[in-house]
Amino acid sequence: MDSQEFVEKINKYIFDENLILYKKLFFNTRIEDVKDPYWKKAQSLFDSLPEENKEIFFEIIHQIMVDTTSNLFGVLDGTNDLGEGDYEFSLKNGDETFDACLQDYFLSYITENKK
Q: Which pLDDT belongs to residue 39? A: 94
Instruction: Give the global pTM.
Output: 0.84
Q: Which of 113, 115, 85 is nearest to 10 (CA)?
A: 113
3-state secondary structure of 92: strand
Supply φ then ψ for residue 97, to 5 degrees: -90, 130
pLDDT band at 15 (very low <50, low <70, confident <90, very high): confident
3-state secondary structure of 68: helix
Tens digits of residue pLDDT in 22-76:
999 999 999 999 999 999 999 999 999 999 999 999 999 999 999 999 999 999 8
Tens digits of residue pLDDT in 70-93:
999 999 888 888 887 778 888 888
